Structure formats: C-alpha cells, structure tokens
Structure 1
Amino acid sequence: MKVLQMIPEMESGGVERGTLELSQYLGSLGHESLVVSGGGKMVRQLEACGTRHLTLPVGRKRLGSLLLIPKLRKLLAKEKPDILHLRSRVPAWLAWLAWRGMDPETRPRLVTTVHGFNSVNRYSEIMTCGERVICVSESIRKHVLKHYPRVPAEKLRVVHRGIDPAEYPHGYRPSSEWLEGFHREFPATRGKRLLTLPGRITRLKGHEDLATILKELATEPGLHGVIAGGAHPRKAAYLDEIKTLFAAEDLLDKMTFTGGRSDLREILAISSVVLSLTTQPESFGRTTLEALGLGIPVAGYDHGGVGEQLRLLYPAGCLVPNDPERAAAIVRGLLDDPPAVPREYPFTLQRMLEGTLAVYNELLL
C-alpha cells in the first residue's frame, strides 16, 4: 500500500517520533511511505528509511494556509496514496478540505489520530473526521465519545502508543562511565535515592506538588529530587518561580535540575521512584511506560493514559490526582518496600505499529 502521513513539522516530539516509527515499519514491509510536513531535523531519518518527504507549510495557523488546499488536492491526485493519515489539527483541516472535494471512488481512505486532550471545540473536532479515528488510549476514546457525540463509536479504534522493549530492557543499568560522568556533573546526586520527575518545565507537570511531596518526606534518609527536563526560553520565568518555591521551602539543596537531556533512559534507570504529577490528564504518558519498562517503580496521578498504565501494570503506584499530601505516603512506601515491576506489558512499539496497519487494512479490504 501507499501511505501519506501529514504533520506540521518533523522537528521533535512524540507525534513526530510516531510518524517516523510508522514510516520505518511501512518501509520494512515493502510499502510506500510519504510524509508531508514543514520540514525539520527528523527529515533526514525519514529519508534514511526510504520515506519520501514533501515540504509544505501545512502547520501554519493563518488564513493564507487555505491557499494550500488546491495544491494538496493536486498532490493527492498525483501521488494516489491508498491511505491519508492526519495527526494534527491545522494539517487535518487543510487536507480534509482538499480530500472532500475529490471523487469518493478514487480518493484515499482517510485516517485521523487523536493524540491528546485538545480543547473541545469545532476546531479540534476535525481530528474526528477520519473514516477511522485512532485513539492513543482508552482515555482518549472516552474523551471523544463524551465531547463529540456526533462521532459514531464504531469508527473509533484504540491503538495505544508503545515503546521498544529492546530499547528499555527490564533491569537495565547505565555504564560506570556514564554514572561517573553524571555524578561529576551533578555531585549532589551521588549516593542518594533519586525521586525523579521527568518532562519539560511547564506549569502542568506538577513541580509544585513535587515540592510538597519532598517536604513531607524530609525524614527519609538520602532522598534527593531530580527534575529531568529543560525549559523553553518562554518558560524561563516559570523555572525561576519553581526554584524560588523550592528555596522558600528550604529544599533547594535537595534538588537537582538537569535541564534538557538526551540520556533520560539512564536517569530513569538510576532512580528509586519516577513520578508523574501532571495536574491535567495526559493522553498516554511515555516516560511513565519507559520507567516501568526498565523495572523502576512509578507513582503517578491516576488519570488519563498514565492512570491506565498504572492500574494495569503497577497499581501500587496509583495516586489520587492533585493530592500531594496523600501521594507522599504512597511514595514513601515505594521507597521503603516497592513491589516488583512486572517484566511484561502490552504497550509495545510492535503492537502499536501492527495495530495502525490493521486499521489501514480494515479500510482497504
């Protein structure tokens, strides 16, 4: 088959990674893969796996983008993909307006993926316009059914995101060279039990709740907090705000801010407990699954995709959402006597890829 995926850009991020992984999988099976985006540093990886990339500014949220609709219709007529897969709202609007003006007998079959809990409005509803709509978790499927009652339930398909167990092997430990380098860079972490909150520095990640939990666990010996994630320049003021909060609580000497890292797997692997404290539900929660895949205990607020994972794989880590005082007692239990993390889990990359291909085949057959 021939599959054309459309995405705003191929710079970085989970949706972009999923686009690349699917492209690689399609190529490995001998299918033809195309991606239309505004470009980015991941284009080289796309082309390395045999995918053709076509550069168009389909992610620009401006009125002038409507001029791309005739161009996209011509592109679809020329390339004749079997599947058109849309993953983001602006490209979805442009592509849907182009697609609906084509002959239903010859146009591609249309698939959309709802990747997140977008604001509920007509603009976001476009992500439900596919002939099949992929939801990245059961939580997303329930969100769509609740807020978009016009969408027939029978066209929704849950295909959970997934990770590669070979990339996150159970029991993995970093090399002694990496460990020594990390401790040299962040000496306060040496010999400590690390309580790690991964993710970008944004207001929704629950950094304030981490401060409450650390304060509640002040008597735990050798406990040290790690915030593993960078701050966008626009979030610099919020980062300063968080550091001021930790200083006011006399916790700054018990905290390490790593900034953006390319070695998050290693940081997760040396952690005693990994946290997910997002104040609003996440659609899936990849870092939570990465930590569980490595065999590291996880404590997370029981909502959204993270709640789904924990209820199935590690119920001991389920926390009442947005209640850090109660969370602290559960985290203490995981630090002192953690239940074993199971080796097997269903949320694998292979299962995600096979599930997506099954949706395509369902439409084509």
Structure 2
Amino acid sequence: MKTILYLHAGAEMYGADKILLELVSGLDKTKFRPIVILPTDGVLRKKLEEENIFVHVISYPVLRRKYFNPKGIADYISNYKSKSDDIIKFLDKNDIKIDLIHVNTLAVLEGIRLKNKLDIPLYWHIHEIITHPKIINKFLCWCVNHYADRAIVVSGPVKQHLINSGVNANKIKVIHNGIDSDIFSPKVKSNYLYKEWNIPQNTIKVGMIGRVNNWKGQEDFLDSLAPLLNEFDNLYLFIVGSAFKGQEWRIDDLKRKIKYLPHNNRIIFSEFRKDNYAVEHFFDILILPSTSPDPLPTVVLETMGCGRAVLGYAHGGITEMVKNQYNGELVSPLDKKALRKAVENCIISKKYKEWGENSRKRLLDNFSLDKFINNFEKIYKGEM
C-alpha cells in the first residue's frame, strides 16, 4: 500500500478543493492511504472527515499576493521553513511513513522542502495558468521543472503554458478533472430557489459562479449582460461567490456596481453557497467570463452534469469542455459585445435547451469521475 501525503492551498469548497475531495475519497483504499494536511480549518476538512480521510491542520504559508513585498517575503521564508518542519515532526510523531507527496495547486511550495528532507517523489497537480506577475510565473515554473517528479495538469492549455514557461514536456501528464454525475445531474431539485430569491417561475436564468477576485470576470459579466435586462423582461442575472479573506472590499465594490445598474432588482448576488449543485441546475445558462485563462473550471463540469448550456470566453480549459454550437458557445476573450450577442441569440433561439442536453452527454463521455480517479491511480503506480 502506498501512503500519499496531500498538501493543499485552503479548506473551502471551490474548484481545486472539490477535486481534491473527489480524488482522495475515490481512491482504492486497499492500495492507497491518503493523508491530507491543510493550512487552515474549514468546510473541506469536515467533508474529508465525513469520508473517513485522515486530515490534519498545520498553518503552513500559501503563496498569495500579500507576500509580494519585502516584509512579506521575509515572513514567508521564515514560516515556510518552520511549518514544513512541523509537518515532518507531525508525521514522525504519528509514525506515518510517506511514499509520495501530492501537492494540489502551484500556491503550495512546502512539497519541495518535504521532498528533499524525506527523499521521496513529488507529484505536482497544477490547476493554474499564471500569466501575471510574470516573475512569479517564471519562478513557479522553475520550481516545477527542478523539483517535481511529475507535473499533472488539468488541461492541454495548462500543459502548453508550462512548456512555454520552460518546464520539460516529458514531466507533464494531462488528466482532466471529473465530477460525480449522480450529484450533478438533471434530477437535482432546485425549485426552492425561486422562493428563496423571490423570482417568478417563467424566467430565463443566466448566471456565473466563482471566486470574487481580479480575474474571474464579474465585471465583464455585468458589463456584457446587464443591458439585456432592457430587452428581456423575464431575464434574471446571478452572481455567486465570495472573496478571499482580506479582500472583502471586492464584494462591496461589486454590490455598489449592481446598485447603480438599471433593473438591479433582477440581478441577484449571493456569496459562497453549499448548494451549488442546485444553483447550477437552476440556471438555464452558465457564463464563464474569466478575463485570464481558467485552466479547467470545475463549475463548467458541474453545470454540464446538470444538463445546462455554457457560454464564455474562448481561452483556457473551457475550450476543451465546450464544443461550439453543440453544448454552448465561446467568443473571443474580453469581447464583451460578442458575449452579449451570443447570450442574446441563445435566449432568442432557445438553443440553451438543446445545448444543455448535449452538455450532459459530453460530460459523461469525456469527464467522468471514474476515469479521473483511475488515471491518478495509474500514475501513482507508475503506469502512466
């Protein structure tokens, strides 16, 4: 049996969090023993415990913008060394011998120190395409190239980005994420949201779900689609998501923008929810307006599982998930007018109904949870 140490960047339930949960829960426990150490407490820890996964919290630093200054760099280096050593002490104290380290996201560098101290392989699961700051991208890709034994990436665009940034292509393996198609399903019950959000039944519901940050595209969503509220009296727009701790001002700015838009009574904002499966089912159309390439957005897979159409900007992993005019439509990145026109045409033609059915088919054919877990088991065993 292989004992695998998993390090992750947080304890919430956004894309990479969900993928980690699905992976460690689905592994064959007669062959693999997952040990998860998180930097913070949160809903992910509770979910892991519910699945009987060994999980512990040690507050190791995660690479964030707050460290991108002289004091921050000094603090990061100090905490990085001490907390990495705390992880080793914890493993020793509990008599846990690790065979392999799986680091989930580029923001966690502790795997490098643990690899060197424990002399075991480091597999880096990369969910990001980092374009700015360029110096950070260059540094992280250098780390991957020099320290990762394998770089497992979530999509072809992530692989190409790493190669372009100097990572040896022979280290890289693409494994597409998968989701549980029984949980994210056309059978989901979502009608209770009509009452919760106080909206009528005969509505067209267009929404986005994602972290409120500087690149997920909430502003592009509003700039593109709010004008359509003048055209369609039964159109409602939805934005769901929260900000990182310390960036709550982004939520305030977003609410302020909505407040001054016409027909804002038909724009619904909700912070992070635990019932995204219902929200995704509730939408008629999901929009992915990320202003930087989103590597393989889990929210798109979940929405496809629920049998819903997806529209967005044509960059990043969505280009492998959405087939134009089959289960959605992609437009040139940052072209807000083109996005508006695509949504307008989709509503008028009612193509979103057919596209939604096709989304479900495409998910089952290409992004199943079983395939995702089987591929990781193969790579852990050296068969891929």
User: TM-score, structure 2 length as denominator?
Assistant: 0.81
Residues 288 and 189 of structure 1: is their aligned pair in 2 closer, same or farther, counting only changes over 3 Å? farther
The answer on whether the counterparts of 2:206 and 2:286 sit within 8 Å (CA) in structure 1 is yes
Structure 2 residue matching 1:100: 3-state secondary structure: helix
1:354 maps to a residue whose letter is: N
Q: For this pair of structures, how many residues does the alignment match?
A: 352
2: distance between equivalents of 1:48 and 1:241?
Answer: 36
Counterpart for residue 371 of structure 2:
351
1: distance between equivalents of 2:117 and 2:175?
Answer: 29
Gap runs ≥5 in structure 1: none
1:121 aligned to 131, 134, 138, which one? 138
1:38 and 2:39 aligned: yes
Residues 300 and 314 of structure 1: is their aligned pair in 2 closer, same or farther, counting only changes over 3 Å? farther
Map 1:282-321 onto structure 2 (within 5 A): 282-311=294-323, 314=326, 316-321=328-333
Counterpart for residue 158 of structure 2:
140
Counterpart for residue 83 of structure 1:
100
2: distance between equivalents of 1:271 and 1:10?
Answer: 26
Counterpart for residue 99 of structure 1:
115
The answer on whether the counterparts of 1:211 and 1:251 sit within 8 Å (CA) in structure 2 is no
Greater alpha carbon shift after TM alignment, 74-83 vs 160-169: 74-83
Deviation at 1:277, TM superposition (A): 0.6
Gap runs ≥5 in structure 2: 63-75, 131-135
Structure 2 residue matching 1:162: 3-state secondary structure: coil
2:193 aligned to 179, 182, 192, which one? 182
Greater alpha carbon shift after TM alignment, 191-200 vs 216-225: 216-225
Counterpart for residue 331 of structure 1:
343
Deviation at 1:318, TM superposition (A): 1.0
The answer on whether the counterparts of 2:10 and 2:40 sit within 8 Å (CA) in structure 1 is yes
Cα deviation code 1:136-172 (max 9, x no counterpart): 111110110011x2x3211100011121111112x33
Deviation at 1:325, TM superposition (A): 0.8
2: distance between equivalents of 1:98 and 1:274?
Answer: 40
The answer on whether the counterparts of 1:191 and 1:222 sit within 8 Å (CA) in structure 2 is yes
2: distance between equivalents of 1:356 and 1:157?
Answer: 10
Residues 259 and 68 of structure 1: is their aligned pair in 2 closer, same or farther, counting only changes over 3 Å? closer
Structure 2 residue matching 1:275: 3-state secondary structure: strand
Counterpart for residue 181 of structure 2:
165
1:210 and 2:227 aligned: no
Structure 2 residue matching 1:268: 3-state secondary structure: helix
Deviation at 1:215, TM superposition (A): 4.4
The answer on whether the counterparts of 2:111 and 2:122 sit within 8 Å (CA) in structure 1 is no
1: distance between equivalents of 2:22 and 2:98?
Answer: 19
User: TM-score, structure 1 length as denominator?
Assistant: 0.84
Cα deviation code 1:239-297 (max 9, x no counterpart): 34334434444231331223332222222222221111111111111111211221111
Residues 68 and 221 of structure 1: is their aligned pair in 2 closer, same or farther, counting only changes over 3 Å? closer
Deviation at 1:11, TM superposition (A): 4.4
Counterpart for residue 169 of structure 2:
153
The answer on whether the counterparts of 2:60 and 2:84 sit within 8 Å (CA) in structure 1 is no
1: distance between equivalents of 2:50 and 2:196?
Answer: 34
Deviation at 1:75, TM superposition (A): 6.5
TM superposition outliers: structure 1 runs of 4+ over 6 Å: 74-77
Cα deviation code 1:202-227 (max 9, x no counterpart): 34232332233334422234112111
1: distance between equivalents of 2:107 and 2:207?
Answer: 35
Structural RMSD (CA)? 2.9
1: distance between equivalents of 2:117 and 2:204?
Answer: 59
Structure 2 residue matching 1:359: 3-state secondary structure: helix
Residues 55 and 231 of structure 1: is their aligned pair in 2 closer, same or farther, counting only changes over 3 Å? closer
Residues 362 and 76 of structure 1: is their aligned pair in 2 closer, same or farther, counting only changes over 3 Å? farther
Residues 38 and 271 of structure 1: is their aligned pair in 2 closer, same or farther, counting only changes over 3 Å? closer
Structure 1 residue matching 2:221: 3-state secondary structure: helix
The answer on whether the counterparts of 1:206 and 1:279 sit within 8 Å (CA) in structure 2 is yes
Q: Percent identity?
A: 19
Structure 1 residue matching 2:215: 3-state secondary structure: helix
